[in-house]
Amino acid sequence: MSGKRTPFYDLHVSLKAKMVDFAGFEMPVQYPTGITKEHEIVRSGVGVFDISHMGEFEITGPDRNAFANRITCNDVGSLRDGQTQYSALLKDDGTFLDDCLVYRFDDKIMLVVNASNIAKAWEFIVDRKKGINVRLRNISDDVALLAVQGPKSEALLQSLTKVNLSGIPYYHFETGEVGGIGCFISRTGYTGEDGFELYFRPSDAQVLGSTLIGHGRGEPIGLGARDSLRLEAGYALYGQDIDETVNPYEAGLGWIVKLDKGAPFVGRAKLEAIKKAGVKRKLVGFKVPEKGSIPRHGYDVFLKGTKIDTVRSGGFGPSLGEAIGTTYLPSHSAAPGTEIEIDCRGKKVKAEVVKMPFYTGGSVKKS
C-alpha cells in the first residue's frame, strides 16, 4: 500500500490492525478482536473510529450562508449557530455528486465530504464561487477526526470534558476540550447509536487517541464494523446506495431536498420535475432467510426472473442474526413483503423486501 496516512496510522499499527486501501488512504478494516466483536462493542459499550480521511471545507465571508445554500440541497437558512445538517451536493440532473454534513458556526460554514469525493467536491464548490463574497479553504489535511460511538460514549467523554454533553442535542455541536485537547464536539454519527464526532488538530492526534482508546475506555473499531453498523441503521453509503446515477427521491432521501427554500440550488429544476412525475424506482432493504447466503455489493438481483439491479450494500447483520442488503426496485414492486432473488456466487437465493432501518434498537438521541 502507498496511500495517504491519517495521524493515527502508527496507533493502528501498534494495535495490530489489518490495514487496507480505502479511498486512497491506508485505513484499519479490523483489529484482532474481529469485525463481529467490534460491532457488538459499539452496540453495547463504546467504540472509537478513526475517520480522519473525511474531507473538510471552510466557507467564510459575508455571503457564506447564502453560498452554502446555493451549493447544497437542504436549507442552510434553517440552521442556528452550533447546528449540523445532513445534506448533499447535487449535479444539474439532480443526482448525487456527494452527500455531506453542513456545520454552521457564528463566523463560518464547514462542509464535511466523503474521502473518495474530496477532489471533485472541492472543484464543484470552487467553480461556483464566481463573484460571490466568500473565501473558500480546503482544510482536509488540517483536521483530524474521531468518532466515539455507543450507548456509553457520553459517559466516557463526560469524564474527559467540562462541556455539558447532555446539553448537546442530536445534530448540534459545541466547542470545548476533551482530555485537554481543543475540539469541535458534534453529536453525530454513522452507527445508529448515540455518539459524538470530535474534530481537532492532527498534531493532537497521538495524545487524544491514547486518551480515548484502551485503559478501560473506548475500543478501536475498524471500517468493517463501521459498514455493518451503518447498514443495520439504514444509512446510505456513497458509491453503493447513492452515486451520480441516483437522485434523493429514489434513495428515500427526499427529506433533505428543500425545493421551497428560495435559493436556486444546483439540481433544483430537475428535482422539481422528478417530484412532480414521481420516481420509477426506489431503494429498498431486504433480508435473506437462507443461512449462510450473504449478499455482497455487486451481486445480481432478480425480480420475477428478470435481472433488475445489483446489491448496493449487503452483508451479515450481527445485531439481527441474519443477512441483509439494499437494492433498487421498480416503485410498483418496492413494498415490504415483495419477493426477489439474489445471485450469491452462482446460486439464486430468495430474499424478501423489508422496511428500513433494519435495526431500531440503537441509543441514538434524536431529540
- Mean pLDDT value across residues 98-118: 98
Q: How many CB atoms lie within 10 A of CB 213?
A: 20
Residue 1: the pLDDT is: 57
The answer to whether residues 169 and 121 belong to one domain is: no
Region 81-99 average pLDDT: 98
**Which residue type sits at 339?**
E
304 Cβ neighbours under 8 A, 6+ residues apart: none
Mean pLDDT (whole number) for 150-179 = 98
Residue 9: which CATH number? 3.30.1360.120
**Domain annotation covers residue 269:** no
Residue 173 has pLDDT above 60, yes or no: yes
In a domain, 255, yes or no: no
366, part of any domain: no
DSSP string, 39-105: HHHHHHS-EEEE-TTSEEEEEESTTHHHHHHHHSSS-GGGPPTTEEEEEEEE-TTS-EEEEEEEEE-
- Tens-place pLDDT, residues 251-297: 999 999 999 998 799 999 999 999 999 999 999 999 999 999 999 99
Whether 198 maps to a domain, the answer reads: yes
Tell me: do 62 and 45 sit in the same domain. Answer: no
| 296-329 per-position pLDDT tens digit | 999 999 999 999 999 999 999 999 999 999 999 9
The grid coordinates listed for 147 are: 468518532
Other CB atoms within a 10 A radius of the CB of residue 44 amount to 14
CB of 168 closer than 8 Å to CB of 224:
no
Domain co-membership, 158 together with 48: yes
CATH number at residue 87: 3.30.70.1400
Last residue of a domain, one of 133, 152, 173: 133
Q: Is residue 243 part of a domain?
A: no
Residue range(s) defining the domain that contains residue 150: 4-52+143-232
Cβ pair 23, 115 in contact under 8 A: yes
> Do 48 and 61 lie in a common domain?
no
**CATH number for the domain that contains residue 331:** 2.40.30.110
Is residue 27 domain-shared with residue 156, that is, in the same domain? Answer: yes
72 shares its domain with 41? no
If pLDDT is split at 50, 70 and 90, which confidence band does 367 have?
low
Average pLDDT on 130-144 reads 97
Note whether 161 and 32 are same-domain residues. Answer: yes
